[in-house]
Structure 1
Amino acid sequence: MIGIWNAVVHRDDSKQKFIFSVEKDDGYTLSVQTEPTPAFILPMEASLEGNRLEAVGRSFYSSDPVVVKLTFENDRFAGTIMMPFAGELQLEGERGRGPSLAKDLIPLVEPYRRSNVQERSEEEIRQEVEKLIGRMSVADKIGQMSQIGASDFSFGADVDSEPPESMVASGKAGSILGAFDSKRVFELQKIAVEQSPHRIPLLFNADVIHGFQTIFPVPLAWSCSWDLEGIKQACAIAAKEASASGTTYNHGPMVDISRDPRWGRVVEGAGEDPYLGALIAKAQVEGFQGDSLFDRETIIACLKHFIAYGAAEGGRDYNTVDISEGTLRNVFLPPFKAGIEAGAGSVMNAFNIYQGVPVAGNSYLLKDLLRDELGFDGIVISDYGAIEEIFIHGAAKDGEDASKLALYATMDIEMVTRLFATHLPALIEKGLVKEEQLDEAVRRILTYKFKIGIMDDPFRYVRPEKEMEYHFHPEHLEASRELARKSVVLLKNDGILPLRKEGNTLALIGPFAASKDLLGPWQFSRYGLETATLKQGVADKVSDADRLLVAAGCGVDSEIDGGFERAVACAKQADVVVLALGEDSNMSGEAASRTNIELPSVQLRLAEEIVKLGKPTVLVLTNGRPLVLDWFEQNVGAIVETWFLGSEAGRAIADVLFGDYNPSGRLTMSFPRHAGQVPIYYNHFNTGRPVTPENRHMKFISKYLDCPNEPLYPFGYGLSYTKFDYSDFRLDKTVLARGDSLIASVTVTNAGDAAGEETVQMYIRDLHGSVVRPVKELKGFRKIVLQPGESRTVSFAVSEEDLKFYGPDGSFQAEAGSFRLFAGPNSRDTLEAEFELV
């Protein structure tokens, strides 16, 4: 009975598929997924008597139990599942995933197909939009500005609302959130174009953060690849899979700069550097939106969260933000600016306040900065319930006041809550807002509905035949595996890696030894049960399966009866131990902030017991944030940071562990030595009493009594199975005139025995000026592959543009003076030279 099984349940006029995965390690485990709507059922310990399996667990969103009773007979099974809100369901099924439910939709959609639909010009779109706005009532316009959920499922507080079907029919909704099923997209779109007042099609929104059905590494992981083309391809594949299922509008990418690993949402971003963050933001927008939004395999990209959400105090989600204008512009703005210049169609507000005003109602940020200064003319959408939160914050008297503030800030779409619908008509009657303000919002919304083609072909994104072809396609899986390999960061290696495929007995120990929880947060894949585990990846590499010993030892945050004993027994028989430790997916992402960023204590205790044996030990981490690893740095031979790598995680990790892929990932967030150091980041300002090698022993300087200032692993850091030497750093001139450029060159040599890829990094420091500038700022990088003994000269062009920053007066310029250039493998270990801007 070990393996994948499926059963299809007929409910009213719909079908629901249950997919079961039965696995055996220390005991039996049953995992459950549902299609088309995911049920978020947590894996369950199962008991087995003969051919009868029973398990009790729970859904992630309910405390009520999920009870499964299955009886197996050859390749068939029967039984029941008790589900919260659904009651007991009878099951009959068979081995394997079974047929796709999308197949049933093909004949339903066929009569609605349109051919020869042409992309409209901007002038044609403008004229059609104006005609339509002229026919719309105030209620019609507010409907376009209102987003509703596809069901009563909620990502936050419950929202009182009519059924989606009636709201769409009456024109009270212009977009839908969370239609996980293409059949649901078809049903609601059909109501919109046949029953709503002006037959205006709906936008279908979803959070496609790091893959749709094929899951790629989480964004913090893929940022560590420094591979812009690979990231762009991942987003293009995600768009291809999502658009085939009806999604037209993405709630991503997240481009917040993140300096505090306590904040759970660091997992969704590109780390702490605005330069690299801007390049990755551009790559993601280009991946999601392609060359044209009219292409049915692209989706609208939404930059979030504008702005400074990553500066939440204490790293606590939804918390307040209090930063300077200079920090806002120089640190948090560049990725948004780059995404807008790349053509992003949408921007989502941040939950936080700025200068005491929540962003959702902050006219300075959304109107003056975003629209007027940056020239953004796309759709601004509120984050979930953010308009309502304006008055919860205390920046508005009530919902009416909050609605007015949001409209004046040029908010176009309200996500899920109903304040616009409730209050805007009365505000117009009172003369407190103008209908023309609604027109501006609706104009932007309708323009994008024309751009993506749904005004002329409403069902063009409902393509069940393509859904069946694209989802979890082998080529997509290979792309995921390739990017996953590039995202792995080798943090320590005393020579234990790469592992030998023959001769050694290997013990794979820890809660992630055989876990499929490698996808990370913010994914809704129906193929999660087919995630490649570390155990599978390692088993495929070793020549003798009997020499691979596996034991969980403990749960992620819980003990297992006898778990330590079994793990120690395995380790005693092994030549090498791989400790597979980390965070589960629910410990990262939204609403997953942590004050303690060490591994859970039960895992630390397990590691201590294993290390006592004195065996060569490799730590393989699965996690969504930088962790405190000082104990491991001192006590294990190798540390491999794998993050959450996606559908092919186990195979990609094994590729690196056994040397089939030489690790090339480089950190995009600093790893602290102690949680008391955070927020910690490389591009900080100097103090008036900085620590130097000469004054470290002195008291009255900016330092800790019990910990160095420096991180354990700095930004840009990562090791390889070979060694790269840097030498001969030189500038072709030491005086740079405005409008000119200089060339900085450094020689990089592969001084090891293996071919490898190196990311050569260039940093700049503005030594003095009207305001303090960071001690280092990334301004360029090159990825090169060198054979053993090979040398290459890597050059960077530096111009006045690279030296510009936002000053106190809001100007964006470079100031004359002295600068220092750095080149090296990371932000700490660099060669340097100086020049002057005149």
Structure 2
Amino acid sequence: MRFKWLLVILLFVFSGLNSIQAQQYVPVAQKIDPKVEAKVDKLLSKMTLEEKVGQMCQVTLDVITKGPNQFSSDEPLQLDTSLVRKALVDYKVGSILNTANNRARTPQKWNEIISQLQKVATKETRLGIPIIYGIDGIHGATYTAGATIFPQEIAMAATRNRTLVRKEAEVSAYETRACGIPWTFSPVLDLGIDPRWPRMWETFGEDPYLVAQMGYQMIKGYEGENNDIDNPVHVASCMKHFLGYSAAKSGKDRTPAWLPEIDLRERHLVSFKKAINAGAHTVMINSGIINGVPVHASYDIITKLLKQELGFNGLVVTDWADIENLHNRDKVAKTQKEAVKMAINAGIDMSMVPYNFDFCDYLTELVKEGEVPMSRIDDAVRRILRVKYELGLFKTPVTRMADYPDFASKKFENDAYEAAAEAITLLRNNNHVLPLSAHAKILVTGPNANSMRTLNGGWTYSWQGEKVEEFAGKYNTILEAIRNHAGDKNVTYVPGVEYKMDGTYNEEQNVDIDAAVKAAANVDAVVLCLGENTYTEKPGDLNDLYISDNQTALAKALSATGKPVILVLNEGRPRLISKFADQMQAILQIYLPGNFGGDALADVLYGKVNPSGKLPYTYPRYPNSLVVYNHKPSEAQKKMEGMYNYEGDVGSQFPFGAGLSYTDFTYSDLKINKSELDGKDDFTISVTVKNTGDREGKEAVQLYISDLYASITPDVKRLRGFEKVDLRPGEAKTVTFHLNTRDLAFVNHQLKYVVEEGKFVASVANLTVPFSVKNTQTFDR
């Protein structure tokens, strides 16, 4: 009987995420600029239904260019005047996205194309409403030839350096605007909790606090401290992907997730709440399904949670073809027209269609038939126009390359290099094999040793990153950077294994392990560069998390030579290396460091740079041990005396937050200024860190807090602060973290944020300090 009642309660709790409603939309009062709103209301009052619906439509660039069909374009790229007019004049389309033929363009070509589009939109339409152009610029202006390319988000998280993240976004905004593009589909705020998921590298890692902090900095970098996106060096940011996208049960892209609302709110919502508070102007919706309901059809998630509860007043855009997917893939809509009805009534403002204009026809019919209320249309268009006015597009429809003299400047390149260098994470350094002597003879080997493509990853010059070599030839691969340090005579290169470079990401060729073993006989050390080729989204799905058999065989064969092997991991997610990791004398994780990753790695290998990165995820040891660091106590049960030797521990290869240095840091004097908290108290935790080694180094000081007992089983610990300090030999600094009792809260069974009375422990490195909360407190959110 108790089980039946529990089932009823659970169904009631989860039902809020599972309903698809087509009800009258009632906008809520939100803080907006009254001057902008007056302009929006005035323009909206003049618009016909067709003009409003057109604003809600977004098509890809290939649809309006000269070429054989809407999926591809002729080269050199040119707009098709008749197709442009069909889109912008006939269908009144309000937004264009993406590049053509899946390839980067020069900033001059971007200026040319977007200027032509804005001329038609502003001069040849009845109301002269400019379009808003959007692009996937996720680690720089990544669809622009010659732009400054930074490390991917997962590497930026490893820096634990908020300043570098903001710099990246500022540079990206500047160079995106130089192209005339005002809107970037970034940052990704999903949690990187599952290494099977092919978009893990697009995230800031597995911890909600870390993701929220880095996401906040990226949004402020894109939009400016005051979110003044009409400033021509700022762009509108786009939070991705609301909500729970990375929690797919299968670990594969765009597959269903089953998420209790407690988990959704306590983990997945944290970064988005922080981003909304940061003023992010737009958001993209999760392409997946939560508890059986496609998120693009969820009124409860898009309208009730995002727009009403969180107070988001910006623009809500779909992901690629996801309204069509409600019918084609997810089978919740019997027709495409019904799919449009579901999504718009759920709260979608703009449809990334992207290849036709059927959306406009269907939505116009639905409004005339009374199936979609005009209040819902007006709300959507108001949000779109609001962003366009705030971007200054009515005054300056397109910015000009000539006004951006710092495009691809040396200063920007130095910022990208610095980020790549600080991201590199030293995970092992047995017998101080690193740094290398400048005169040591080195064998460089492995499929990632001589590839710019693998340094950058997907979303670089093309969707899957397969065109990187065409655009990044002037930068240094790992091999080239090492040769620049040591000279050709001291460096031997034998790949051992190579990737196919035909667009596939996981196929290998030219396997000659014997040649690599033979070459190792004449060197002092081996730099073994393993990992992955480029991928993202569905093409990156995999069935085996272990690193490839060929790479494993190469690593084992080289370790058997007796020469010190320095393993360099160049990968978007932690591929399992437990079959050979113990035989590696040193291990470095460089993630996807961008165009300057080879230079940064060489500088670390030879000691010019002291590594300071920290893992932003738990590196698993086994395929059935994919447990994040902030797990529940029962997820890490070890063998107990007299019991079976069961394998119930976490089983990580390297823990979250791991990262060594060439110097030593000692922690002392961990203190809390209030040992007992009462009410909604502010409090501080401080610790002193000292460089006790013989070289300067940077250290990321990480604060964790554990709730020892709670009404819902607590996480073993949670990250609640981090600061990066630079210390000279012998220098010490005191780092102080400022917190509030709210920072200790969890979501309870009533979906309230609560801090319960009881005992807590704060920890930094190997130090701990206890404290307590005297009275239970409930917080709004």
Which category describes the TM-score, using the shorter chain as reference length? Answer: 0.7 to 0.9
Instruction: Answer whether contact 2:565 2:585 (CA < 8 A) is retained.
Output: yes
**Aligned match of 2:89:** 169
**Aligned match of 1:653:** 601
Matches within 5 A, 1:58-207: 122-152=33-63, 163-179=83-99, 180=105, 181-207=110-136
**Aligned match of 1:551:** 494
Q: TM-score, normalised by structure 2?
A: 0.85
**Aligned match of 2:248:** 312
C-alpha RMSD of the superposition: 2.4
Instruction: Give, in whole Å, the separation in 2 of the partners of 1:313 and 1:531.
Output: 39
Superimposed CA distance per residue, residues 443-476 of structure 1 (whole angstroms, 9 cap, x where no aligned partner)? 11111111111112223x2x13246x44432111
**Aligned match of 1:764:** 705
**Aligned match of 1:293:** 229
Instruction: Give, in whole Å, the separation in 1 of the partners of 2:605 and 2:211.
Output: 28
**Aligned match of 2:171:** 237
Partner of 1:765, secondary structure, is: strand
**Aligned match of 2:9:** none
Q: Counterpart amino acid of 1:739?
A: K
Matches within 5 A, 1:119-518: 122-152=33-63, 163-179=83-99, 180=105, 181-212=110-141, 213-290=147-224, 291=226, 292-391=228-327, 392-417=329-354, 418=357, 420-459=359-398, 461=399, 463-466=400-403, 469-517=405-453, 518=455
Superimposed CA distance per residue, residues 377-428 of structure 1 (whole angstroms, 9 cap, x where no aligned partner)? 0000001111112233132332222222212222110002445313222222
**Aligned match of 1:699:** 644
1:533 Cα deviation (Å)? 1.0
Q: List alignment gaps of at least 5 residues for structure 1.
A: 1-120
Partner of 1:252, secondary structure, is: coil
Instruction: Give, in whole Å, the separation in 2 of the partners of 1:771 and 1:698.
Output: 27
Asked which structure has the greater RCO (Cα within 8 Å, sep 6+), the reply is 2
Instruction: Give, in whole Å, the separation in 2 of the partners of 1:451 and 1:414.
Output: 20
Superimposed CA distance per residue, residues 322-353 of structure 1 (whole angstroms, 9 cap, x where no aligned partner)? 11101000100011011111110001100112
Instruction: Answer whether contact 2:448 2:532 (CA < 8 A) is retained.
Output: no
Instruction: Answer whether contact 1:189 1:201 (CA < 8 A) is retained.
Output: yes
Instruction: Answer whether contact 1:146 1:414 (CA < 8 A) is retained.
Output: yes
Partner of 1:507, secondary structure, is: strand
**Does 2:740 correspond to 1:799?**
yes
Call closer, same or farther: CA 1:365–1:648 in 2, change over 3 Å: same
Instruction: Select which of 612, 636, 645 maps to 1:664.
Output: 612
Instruction: Select which of 585, 591, 604 maps to 2:552.
Output: 604
Identify the range of structure 1 (222-231 vs 487-496) with the bigger mean alpha-carbon deviation.
487-496
Call closer, same or farther: CA 1:141–1:236 in 2, change over 3 Å: same
Q: Counterpart amino acid of 1:388?
A: E
Call closer, same or farther: CA 1:308–1:530 in 2, change over 3 Å: same
**Does 2:460 correspond to 1:540?**
no
**Does 2:620 correspond to 1:686?**
no
Partner of 2:528, secondary structure, is: strand
**Aligned match of 1:567:** 516
**Does 2:761 correspond to 1:823?**
no
Instruction: Answer whether contact 1:388 1:419 (CA < 8 A) is retained.
Output: no
**Aligned match of 2:457:** 520
Instruction: Give, in whole Å, the separation in 2 of the partners of 1:338 and 1:622.
Output: 30
Instruction: Give, in whole Å, the separation in 2 of the partners of 1:764 and 1:659.
Output: 34
Call closer, same or farther: CA 1:495–1:355 in 2, change over 3 Å: same
1:560 Cα deviation (Å)? 5.4
1:204 Cα deviation (Å)? 0.6
**Aligned match of 1:26:** none
Call closer, same or farther: CA 1:591–1:466 in 2, change over 3 Å: farther
Instruction: Give, in whole Å, the separation in 1 of the partners of 2:670 and 2:717.
Output: 17
1:188 Cα deviation (Å)? 1.6
Partner of 1:492, secondary structure, is: strand
**Does 2:543 correspond to 1:595?**
yes
**Does 2:473 correspond to 1:529?**
yes
Instruction: Give, in whole Å, the separation in 2 of the partners of 1:308 and 1:558.
Output: 30
Identify the range of structure 1 (479-488 vs 550-559) with the bigger mean alpha-carbon deviation.
550-559
1:738 Cα deviation (Å)? 1.4
Instruction: Give, in whole Å, the separation in 1 of the partners of 2:70 and 2:555.
Output: 42
Partner of 2:540, secondary structure, is: coil
Instruction: Answer whether contact 2:256 2:291 (CA < 8 A) is retained.
Output: no
Q: Counterpart amino acid of 1:532?
A: N
Superimposed CA distance per residue, residues 774-809 of structure 1 (whole angstroms, 9 cap, x where no aligned partner)? 111111122222333444443334431211222222
Q: TM-score, normalised by structure 1?
A: 0.80
Partner of 1:204, secondary structure, is: strand
Call closer, same or farther: CA 1:559–1:424 in 2, change over 3 Å: closer
Call closer, same or farther: CA 1:646–1:197 in 2, change over 3 Å: same
Q: Counterpart amino acid of 2:379?
A: E
1:686 Cα deviation (Å)? 2.3
Q: Counterpart amino acid of 1:189?
A: Q
Instruction: Give, in whole Å, the separation in 2 of the partners of 1:164 and 1:153.
Output: 5
Partner of 1:712, secondary structure, is: strand
Partner of 1:546, secondary structure, is: helix
1:260 Cα deviation (Å)? 0.5
1:724 Cα deviation (Å)? 2.1
1:359 Cα deviation (Å)? 0.9
Superimposed CA distance per residue, residues 257-277 of structure 1 (whole angstroms, 9 cap, x where no aligned partner)? 121001010110011100111
Instruction: Give, in whole Å, the separation in 1 of the partners of 2:206 and 2:508.
Output: 35
**Aligned match of 1:718:** 659
Instruction: Answer whether contact 1:151 1:164 (CA < 8 A) is retained.
Output: no
Instruction: Give, in whole Å, the separation in 1 of the partners of 2:613 and 2:511.
Output: 37
Instruction: Give, in whole Å, the separation in 2 of the partners of 1:442 and 1:393.
Output: 27
Superimposed CA distance per residue, residues 363-389 of structure 1 (whole angstroms, 9 cap, x where no aligned partner)? 101111101111000000001111112
Instruction: Answer whether contact 1:491 1:713 (CA < 8 A) is retained.
Output: yes
Instruction: Give, in whole Å, the separation in 1 of the partners of 2:655 and 2:511.
Output: 39
Q: Counterpart amino acid of 1:663?
A: P
Instruction: Answer whether contact 1:729 1:833 (CA < 8 A) is retained.
Output: no
Superimposed CA distance per residue, residues 8-52 of structure 1 (whole angstroms, 9 cap, x where no aligned partner)? xxxxxxxxxxxxxxxxxxxxxxxxxxxxxxxxxxxxxxxxxxxxx
Aligned residue pairs total 700
Instruction: Answer whether contact 1:266 1:589 (CA < 8 A) is retained.
Output: no
Instruction: Answer whether contact 1:749 1:790 (CA < 8 A) is retained.
Output: yes
Instruction: Answer whether contact 1:228 1:280 (CA < 8 A) is retained.
Output: yes
**Does 2:752 correspond to 1:808?**
no
1:712 Cα deviation (Å)? 1.2
Instruction: Answer whether contact 2:423 2:612 (CA < 8 A) is retained.
Output: yes
Partner of 1:348, secondary structure, is: strand
Call closer, same or farther: CA 1:620–1:413 in 2, change over 3 Å: same
Q: Counterpart amino acid of 1:691?
A: Q
Instruction: Give, in whole Å, the separation in 1 of the partners of 2:308 and 2:743.
Output: 24
